[in-house]
Chain A
Amino acid sequence: MTLSFFNPVTAVLLIPICSAALLAALPGYLVTARLNVVASLATFLSALSLFVVERPAPGPYVLIDDLNIVFIVLNTFVGFTTSIFSASYIAHELESERLTPVYLRFYHAMYQIMMFGMNLAFVSNNIGLMWVAVEVATLTTVLMVGIYRTHAALEAAWKYFILGSVGIALALFGTILVYMAARPVMGEGQDGMVWTLLVERAANFDAALLNVAFVFLFLGYGTKVGLAPLHAWLPDAHAEGPTPISAVLSGLLLNVALYALLRFKILLAANPASIAPGPLMVTMGLVSLIFAAFMLYRRRDIKRLFAYSSIEHMGIIVFAFGMGGPLANFAGLLHMVMHSLTKSAIFYAVGHISQIKGTQRISRIRGLTVTHPALGWGLVVGVVAIAGLPPLGIFMSEFLVVSSTFARQPLLAILLVFGLLLAFGALTLRLTSVAFGEPRGSTAPADASYIPMFAHLALVLGAGIYLPAPLVVWFQHVAQLLG
């Protein structure tokens, strides 16, 4: 067996780290941009091979199970497509001299370190290691958000840094409390931090301590998910950083934080005496959804608009997982995947559009479908998808969330539908002004890479029309795991 030398888990972690070192050292834009793409592709392929190769047994640090394998593959896939988009996007930034070659080396190295952090968070079986990984991913994105060094970019990065650090501090306190709750049962040392062992014996943990721990974890990781009262960093960070970073922030980093939260939710569910995390998650989810839906109406900046849309969708997902049960969990998982794909596709379109038009102001962008048909229609499809219209994938998942809620809590379902309709209205309003009508702004031909955007949209459309049976079975199994 030659394959036995190849360990996909190590590859998923080692390729980004090694290429980050290489990218930091190499000069020259073309070489590094290509190397970034190649490294991301290699990471994606080794993540894919996790499906084929026999999984490693859960150790003290690494765990591969049905839940995180989906996220690892999604993460590396979007990381790969974003690196393609990033190559053409950054070429333009270099031409317009918003970035210098030195910053570019820094940018590429940081991109790979961020991928490393996110992959590490997904594969880690140790709640302390998971915390470290989320922290690494956050710090690298902070540096990238501030890369333009304009007033707004610095302010956004500073705000992100402060709020993110407070969030991560609360999450660490929660992690320590989980260890404290586990100690009487698990004994001292390493075992008290290993997630699989914790879940096995969670039933005997001190419930009161576990409850307090979850509140801290929820607030801490919830800050990174961008839930409503804690969301303040998100619109700024998304709007001011380079667009490839907005794409991975919305599409991936929010997922990482949510994934960490889900792991702890499973832990709590294993202890019958502890509180049900459901009501807390349902409330925060609904608040985020409705708040973001109202905020969508007043946005004048196109990237900020889609940042608020990310808050809205995170609200829906947290709501779905808060409702719990096989159907709502299934819907939540599907929605997470669909949102990642759609939102990053939208940011690819928005990135090229704002480069061509030289502005992010919605009022200065008009008639895109006339001047730039491919970009314009791509954006139309993306917004139609994110607004939850059939036949695209998000319609499916939203429909499942709503129908499962109607079956159990009709009153909550009314609030949910109200929020969805509100957001739908705002998005259509903005879309018609941007995509149709008399063209305004520059009509220079776009030097864009369309493949990543259309690949994502095709996947979303495909999922909306036909979900392959093995995937459905897989998701159902994971939904059961989530309880």
Chain B
Amino acid sequence: MHSLAFDVSHTLAGGLVLISLMMLYQDRLYSLLNVFALHALVLAFSVAWQAFIQDAPHLYVTAVIALVFKAIVIPVALHRIVKQLGIHRDIESAVGIGPTMLAGMGLVALSLVLMLRVTSDADPLAREDLAFALSVVLLGLLVMVTRRNAVSQVVGFMSLENGLVLAATGAKGMPLVVEISVAFSILIAFIVIGIFLFRIRERFDSVDVSALDDFRGERR
């Protein structure tokens, strides 16, 4: 059971969880973006490895999309946006790093317990992949919740989507439609986000979402 195929994919998926945890304590936008690029890189390797061991050549496409688009294009573009907006100072996180890390560990434990318990019949490779994928999804959510900055919320969202790609590739033989749609949705999402970031900047001179809260409709 513990063949090379299993060990390598296990290492890569575990690495993704670890990098997700690293995202939690980055306190600068540039370093957060770099960690996200690393996240996408490991994801690309993981997907490529799955393509190899499942003998599913279409997954290589997903791996290339992850590598080119998520590990290179988006981080570079976000770097430029951050530079143009002049917001490369500290990230204002809503919760301190200590509690965030504890919550992160709790979420990983929760997803491992949950997924390993309900998938006891599935083959071990798929079930551990799924457990790790859920951890990445939940940690991405945590990043979104604990950050106030719009750019870091977006990074959290994209790491969440990486978890979804991991889950989709781990599910053996899942039709291509989903992988393409995930990549495609990130593309659209990025366009949307790009437009919004500039509009928010234009309106508020800041991308701090808490500046938006002052304009809640009810308080007019």
Contact = CB atoms under 8 A, between A and B. Distances in A.
A180 B119 contact: yes
A304 interface: yes
A170 B144 CA distance: 14
A188 B196 contact: no
Nearest to B114: A212
A331 interface: no
Nearest to B167: A176
Given A166-B141, A176-B167, A212-B114, A152 B175 contact: no
A157 interface: yes
A211 B118 contact: yes
B177 A128 contact: yes
B218 A166 contact: no
B121 A158 contact: no
A143 B167 CA distance: 29
B178 A206 contact: no
A179 B175 CA distance: 10
B121 A184 contact: yes
B172 A152 contact: no
B101 interface: no
Given A155-B212, A162-B144, A206 B217 contact: no
Contacts of A361: 220
A209 interface: yes
- Nearest 7 A-B pairs (CB), nearest first? A188-B173, A151-B215, A208-B118, A155-B212, A132-B181, A128-B178, A176-B167
Nearest to B145: A166
A188 B115 CA distance: 21
Interface in B79-120: 114-115, 117-120
A99 interface: no
B134 A173 contact: yes
Contacts of A304: 217-218
Contact of A154 (B130, B168, B174, B196): B196
Q: Chain A's interface: helix, strand, loop or mixed, by majority?
A: helix
A232 B67 CA distance: 35
Interface string B170-195: 01111101100110110011001101
Interface residues of B, number: 52
A169 B175 contact: no
B174 A179 contact: yes
Interface of B: 114-115, 117-122, 126, 130, 133-134, 137, 141, 144, 150, 153, 157, 160-161, 164, 167-168, 171-175, 177-178, 181-182, 184-185, 188-189, 192-193, 195-196, 199-200, 203-204, 209, 212-213, 215-218, 220
Interface of A: 126, 128-129, 131-132, 135, 139, 142-143, 146, 149, 151-152, 154-158, 161-162, 165-166, 168-170, 172-173, 175-177, 179-180, 183-184, 187-190, 192-193, 206, 208-209, 211-212, 235-236, 239-240, 300-301, 304, 361
Contacts of A190: 175
Contact of A180 (B122, B177, B196): B122
Contacts of B213: 155
Contact of A166 (B122, B157, B171, B181): B157
A212 B118 contact: yes
Contact of A155 (B141, B168, B192, B215): B215
B119 A169 contact: no
B160 to A, nearest CB: 5
A177 B114 CA distance: 13
A149 B193 CA distance: 14
Given A162-B153, A183-B173, A192-B174, A209 B181 contact: no
Given A176-B171, A190-B175, A192-B173, A239 B192 contact: no
A135 B185 contact: yes
A300 B216 CA distance: 13
Contact of A173 (B118, B167, B215): B167
Contacts of A126: 177
